[in-house]
Structure 1
Amino acid sequence: MASLYVGDLHADVTEDLLFRKFSAAGPVLSIRICRDQVTRRSLGYAYVNFLQLTDAQKALDTMNFDIIKGKSIRLMWSQRDAYLRRSGIGNVMSDDQGSKGYAFVHFQNQSAADRAIEEMNGKLLKSCKVFVGRFKNRKDREAELRSKASEFTNIYIKNFGGDMDDERLKDVFSKYGKTLSVKVMTDSRGKSKGFGFVSFDSHEAAKKAVEEMNGRDINGQLIFVGRAQKKVERQAELKQMFEQLKRERIRGYQGVKLYVKNLDDTIDDEKLRNQFSSFGSIIRVKVMQQEGQSKGFGFICFSSLEDATKAMIEMNGRFLGSKPISIALAQSY
């Protein structure tokens, strides 16, 4: 246990720089900065192995949170047991007033972690009430988000213009079930920003409202109605999208292909290209047809990952003609 984990490293920190830093505490056997296998860029953490345990303890006591290249480093004992690292045993997740509002604590055993949760959850730290709970890995968090998404009760409505208020919006959606809250977002003058939220007391009511009201006309405006997402859910979906796009590019695709569905009958190849051309270079556009009539879906191939990503983020849910379109990665065409 003469090995330390060094986290929150600046991308430009080198092994030589860390060697000179930690040699001040005692003889260093080796230093390894963990890097991406493809790009060889730093992943932001490293391991420092000392000859003597006392020297590692000295570095931990005197150098934790020191500044290297403008960033505060984070030190802790290296966890050599791969099972413990991966299982989450002894891990506690806490939410506090910090750079990102959350942190992680790894105890040596589960009983200590359970005691920390019991005694610290809900306590005030610097006048902030913190949440402390068991650590969840990314796979578990994503599964939890997917489960919540299938049981939503809150919906998001946009494109209804500036004449809407809470009462009118409630009148429109209360026929689908009991509403717990209705809110039209307004500017500093109290005028509608054109979007709002409705919270139902049941998933069935929210689902029915989405199915029946999405794309409907309200006072000459074709509205969009969908499941309301929290910021963490949107970030998780975007992250998953980026990772999928990256995998497609690595497998050798020449360009990135998008699948666009729910197209209005008036949208042809040229119109679809015009709508997406502002996002970057397009290799190919094709609206699928049968006997001269649109089948309601098509494909767009961008020349770069970045352009395709921008198009997905900006255009998904937008109205083309009379319908809100839906965009996903295309497997082949």
Structure 2
Amino acid sequence: MNATAPNNYPMATLYVGDLAPDVNEAVLFDKFSATGPVVSIRVCRDLATRRSLGYAYVNFQQSADAERALDTMNFEPIKGRPCRIMWCQRDPSLRRSGVGNIFIKNLDKGIDNKALYDTFSAFGNILSCKIALDENEVSKGFGYVHFETQEAADEAIEKVNGMLLNDKKVFVGKWMSRKERIDQLGDAPRKFTNVYVKNFGEDFSDEDMKNLFEKFGEIQSMKVMRTEDGKSRGFGFVSYAEPEHASKAVEEINDKEVNGRILYCGRAQKKSERQAELRRRFQQQKMERNIQFQGVNLYIKNLEESIDDTRLRKEFESYGTITSAKVMRDEKGNSKGFGFVCFQSPEEATKAVTEKNGQIVMTKPLYVALAQRKEERQAQLAAQHMQRVGRMIPQGTQPVGQMFTGGFYPAMAPFPTGQRPAFLPAQVPRPRFSNQGVRGTPGYPGAMMTRPRMPRAPPRPINQQQSRIAPGGGANMAGLSGQRAPSASGTRNQKYSLPLIKLV
């Protein structure tokens, strides 16, 4: 069945996925330009490393050319890897709604994307078809098919569910998100058929595994994991035909002693499930330790390099019962200069902090305090920093700044009235700056500071012997102790006045 372009897309855009890392725009242009004029091609890349994310978008000029490329080039190899082509869906809600999306599991490893597409294309127009692969690009045994309509998906579920594909009975059902599966399961125990067993010895054979588990029900597959030289790795898997048989095996085998070893038997989990459970257990144990050692664990720093765990315990044993004492060391075994001492009761720990803090041990004074978690220390240091900053800024002032060409420079806070800082003597006049004009105004972007005006000096007193009467009743300044009279080319914006001279 030929796929048609959706009516709500003004441009014929195709999504091309499952690309090799070295496929670029030029390779795709050579590949798709054979079917019709290509407007643009974009290979999506990582912003930091610029490596290909494995998919691209190809924009055609005509919708018919894009449809022909989808029909003739889908699942064709590009640099040795089959590509997966579908119409570009710009609305993500269409994919997340689950309408027309089905899930297929228990597939044969030999079924690829093209075989799955050919199998389900008879029921309707397929928007997307994909087989889940592992890191080695091997089929995981399940896949997804997204139909254009829910009616086509329902027909595929009705016709294919329970059928044999490559001699394997497949399951076909409606796709559900993880949240929907959890809500549907509720508080009921999860059904499983695959069992994980561990902690048996190297001499444990496949026959021993079969004799141990076959009494609980029909076994579909079984495997003891081994090393390259054939020795048992101490764990294996057993797959039952019915979930009830697997649950019964877990109840009977778990914590059972076999050949002097206590076995563990439980539901086989995915790697993501195991990691999530380990994280949950770690956080729970961390919280329990914090509650258990609250107020009894001490942090000691400024230790001598020669102090070991025994000497540290001896220094604090007089204050109460010590449950543990540890000096922290690096990978080479050298002391890091700090350690921890844990007491049995908070009263003993408080007494040790009060009396031991600041006491000199060997040549250094110790710092002793209650141990804190990393988050608590960071919050305390941040609060102390904010307090110091608040004390530096006078009350009633607001930090401001001026913008110069080189960047932002914070302005100094105003001084209290009638006070001057020690570095600015009172007898030194403060220079004045011109604020006239736009370029001379501080705060204007690109402003230049003008040359300061020098203070005007008072006129020097003139003796009668040094003065002479100039013609016209004025004083001749040429005779003033060698001083020159101001000329027109002298300092601008400055006026000189002479005192009146009384004639004798």
User: How far apart, CA to CA, are the structure 2 residues paired with 1:42 and 1:209?
Assistant: 48
User: How far apart, CA to CA, are the structure 2 residues paired with 1:134 and 1:10?
Assistant: 31
Report deviation, 1:63: 1.5
Partner of residue 110, structure 1: 150
1:59 is paired with a residue of what secondary structure?
A: helix
Report deviation, 1:156: 4.0
1:122 is paired with a residue of what secondary structure?
A: coil
User: How far apart, CA to CA, are the structure 2 residues paired with 1:195 and 1:6?
Assistant: 42
User: How far apart, CA to CA, are the structure 1 residues paired with 2:236 and 2:74?
Assistant: 46
Report deviation, 1:86: 1.6
Q: Deviations over 1:96-138 (max 9, x none)?
A: 4235144332211111111111112222334443322222345
2:272 corresponds, among 236, 243, 247, to 236
Kept after mapping to 2: 8 A contact 1:91/1:135 = yes
User: How far apart, CA to CA, are the structure 2 residues paired with 1:40 and 1:241?
Assistant: 34
2:59 corresponds, among 49, 52, 77, to 49
Kept after mapping to 2: 8 A contact 1:91/1:104 = yes
1:118 is paired with a residue of what secondary structure?
A: helix
Pairing of 1:113-192 with structure 2 (within 5 A): 113-137=153-177, 140=180, 156-161=196-201, 162=203, 165=208, 169=212, 179-180=216-217
Structure 1 unmatched runs, 5+: 171-177, 245-256, 262-267, 278-282, 292-329
User: How far apart, CA to CA, are the structure 1 residues paired with 2:325 and 2:195?
Assistant: 33
Larger-Rg structure: 2
User: How far apart, CA to CA, are the structure 1 residues paired with 2:172 and 2:47?
Assistant: 34
- Between the two proteins, the alignment pairs up a number of residues equal to 252
State the superposition RMSD in angstroms. Answer: 5.2
Identity of aligned residues (%): 45
- Alignment of 1:81 onto 2:120: no
Give the alignment's TM-score, normalised by structure 2.
0.39
Structure 1 residues 332 and 70: CA distance shift in structure 2, 3 A: farther
Letter of the structure 2 residue corresponding to residue 106 of structure 1: H
Structure 1 residues 147 and 57: CA distance shift in structure 2, 3 A: farther
Q: Deviations over 1:294-326 (max 9, x none)?
A: xxxxxxxxxxxxxxxxxxxxxxxxxxxxxxxxx
Q: Going by fraction, where is strand more abundant, 1 or 2?
A: 1
Structure 2 unmatched runs, 5+: 6-11, 113-137, 287-323, 345-372, 377-504
Deviates more, 1:140-149 or 1:28-37: 140-149
User: How far apart, CA to CA, are the structure 1 residues paired with 2:171 and 2:270?
Assistant: 22
Q: Deviations over 1:45-102 (max 9, x none)?
A: 2221211011101211222222211111111222233221121211123344235144
User: How far apart, CA to CA, are the structure 2 residues paired with 1:132 and 1:166?
Assistant: 32
Partner of residue 20, structure 2: 10
User: How far apart, CA to CA, are the structure 2 residues paired with 1:207 and 1:111?
Assistant: 43
Q: Which has the higher contact order (CA 8 A, sep 6+)?
A: 1
Kept after mapping to 2: 8 A contact 1:152/1:206 = no
Pairing of 1:144-293 with structure 2 (within 5 A): 156-161=196-201, 162=203, 165=208, 169=212, 179-180=216-217, 206=250, 210=254, 213=255, 218-221=258-261, 223-229=262-268, 233-237=269-273, 291=344
Q: Going by fraction, where is helix more abundant, 1 or 2?
A: 1
Q: Deviations over 1:224-277 (max 9, x none)?
A: 414230xxx3233367699x8xxxxxxxxxxxx99989xxxxxx999xx9xxx9
Report deviation, 1:8: 1.0
User: How far apart, CA to CA, are the structure 1 residues paired with 2:263 and 2:375?
Assistant: 29
Letter of the structure 2 residue corresponding to residue 136 of structure 1: M
Kept after mapping to 2: 8 A contact 1:25/1:58 = yes
Report deviation, 1:9: 0.6
Kept after mapping to 2: 8 A contact 1:6/1:74 = yes
Structure 1 residues 144 and 31: CA distance shift in structure 2, 3 A: farther
User: How far apart, CA to CA, are the structure 2 residues paired with 1:58 and 1:184?
Assistant: 47
